[in-house]
Amino acid sequence: MDDRTDDGHAAGEATDGGPPRAAAPVEATPDPPARHNPAQAEVLAALGARPHERPEFDPRLRHELRAHLEERLAGVAERVPDGQSLWVGKHLLSTVHGCEGLFLAQDAEEFAWSPTTARGVVSHKAIELSVSWRGDPSPGDLVDEGIARLIGGNDRIADYLGGLGEGERAELHGEAVERVAKFQECFPPLEARWRPVPESRLRSDLCGDKVVLSGKVDLTVGRADGLKAGKVLIDLKTGGFAPAHRDDLRFYALIETLRIGVPPRLLATYYLDGGRLQDELVTEALLASAVERVVDGAAAAVSLQHDGRAPVLRPGTPCRWCPRRDDCAVGQAHLEAEAEREGW
């Protein structure tokens, strides 16, 4: 993503090539209306970069990372049953690196759609449509179209959305509209020259396809230029900061590097409720830390799922929605202490 204009000049730079003009009185030259509100301008300033600010990476990096991962994951792959693959995604990693009891509880529970998960899918679908929609669509129109496309699709959410009552659907619609409106308010309109791609899927098959790294980035802008990094990976979040948000993007950066050989330039988490962006430059050290997290998470998952190892219980906020919280003494003690501390 580059903050220069289409003709290559920096914003605000004279382009007519004519002679200097005499200064006019201040009152005769009012400032032009701003193209972006302050929140949008901050996003542009954070995500933009000129060519000389883009790092160049060694072409061998992709192969070195893959070789290192496959060497470290060889023992994990051997313990995956024949005909199966270990799918490593952001949810597996964040859960298994948190409470292993929660990881096993969710692994054993059949997935079921809920208002919370459906709201996220609908919101992201509407934002995806907004990237390529001509004109200036309203959040409500985008959400309506998003819901219609999801109901008409082949994804599992189609039956859930189609079966909602009028009141449930209206509530879901309103919550999704709020998210989309915040995105439109805080993000500058995405120009085609930035090469925006919503819902970008990433995948890397390792160890003879026994271990699969998989993810989906909410939004990407820019692209690599030869060995120069230029892409920005962006995740959109409601609520507040959590350390796992940064880890999710580092994981995506690793898969992107394995995929094309050039890492993204920047990772950015945007918090819609607060209009706040947190970004991080991608380095080889960052990718190395992502490798370690993948290896440790995959090893832990296999030992819990297939080796019968007892889980390590790490109580925390997720105890509130753990499927086994009523049978977990550690979780119950944590929730009681939390309630006493908060005065519930």
Site of tokens 């995105």: 183
Above 90 in pLDDT, residue 50? Answer: no
Q: How far is CA 336 from CA 105, 313, 341, in A?
A: 21, 16, 9
Q: Is residue 5 part of a domain?
A: no
Q: Between these two residues, 254 and 244, which has the higher pLDDT value? A: 254
Would the pLDDT of 24 be above 50? no
Tokens of 239: 């609520």
- The last residue of one of the domains, among 162, 186, 210, is 186
Taking residue 203's Cβ as centre, other Cβ atoms within 10 Å add up to 14
Same domain, 120 and 172: yes
Residue 196 lies in a domain: yes
Residue 200 lies in a domain: yes
Residue 199, pLDDT > 70, answer yes
Q: How confident is the model at residue 134 (pLDDT cuts 50, 70, 90)?
A: confident
- What pLDDT shows up at residue 239? 83
How many structural domains comprise the chain? 2
Tokens linked to 271: 């918090």
What percentage of the chain reaches a pLDDT higher than 90?
A: 70
Residue 109, domain member (yes or no): no
71 with 196, same domain: the answer is yes
Measured in degrees and rounded to the nearest 5, phi and psi for residue 211 equal: -125, 125
Q: What is the pLDDT of residue 14?
A: 41
Q: Does residue 201 share a domain with residue 298?
A: yes
pLDDT score of 170 more than 60: yes
Can you tell me the distance from the alpha carbon of 46 to that of 48, in angstroms, rounded to the nearest whole number?
Answer: 6
Q: Is the pLDDT of residue 15 over 50?
A: no
pLDDT at 1: 56
Residues 228 and 289 in one domain: yes
Q: Is residue 149 situated within a structural domain?
A: yes
Q: In this structure, are residues 230 and 223 in contact, taking their beta carbons and an 8 Å threshold?
A: yes
H or E stretch at 329: helix 329-342
Query: Is residue 58 scored above 70 in pLDDT?
Result: yes
Q: Is residue 12 in some structural domain?
A: no
Q: Residue 183 and residue 137: Cα distance in Å, rounded?
A: 13
Nearest to 335 by CA among 325, 311, 102: 325
Q: How far apart are CA 280 and CA 205, in angstroms?
A: 26
Give the pLDDT confidence score for residue 34 in this predicted structure.
65
Which parts of 163-242 fold into alpha helices (H)? Answer: 166-186
CATH, residue 87: 3.90.320
pTM as predicted? 0.86
Amino acid letter, residue 254 = L
Q: Which secondary structure element, helix H or strand E, spans residue 299, and what is its range?
A: helix 284-305
Please tell me whether residues 137 and 275 are part of one structural domain. Answer: no
| 328 assigned to some structural domain | no
| 198 domain-assigned | yes
Q: Are residues 217 and 259 in the same domain?
A: yes
Statement to judge: residues 201 and 169 lie in one domain: no
Per the structure, the complete domain to which residue 203 belongs is given by: 56-94+192-305
Residue 20: pLDDT over 50: no
Q: Exposed, middle or buried: residue 289 (CB in 10 Å: 0-12, 13-18, 19+)? A: middle
Which band of pLDDT confidence, cut at 50, 70 and 90, is reported for residue 163?
very high
Q: How many residues does the chain have?
A: 344
Predicted pLDDT at 22:
39
| Residue 123 predicted with pLDDT over 50 | yes
> In this model, does residue 210 exceed pLDDT 70?
yes
Q: Above 80 in pLDDT, residue 21?
A: no
Quick one: 158 and 301 in the same domain?
no
CB 61 within 8 A of CB 291: no
Chosen domain end from 153, 186, 219: 186
Mean of the per-residue pLDDT values of the chain: 88
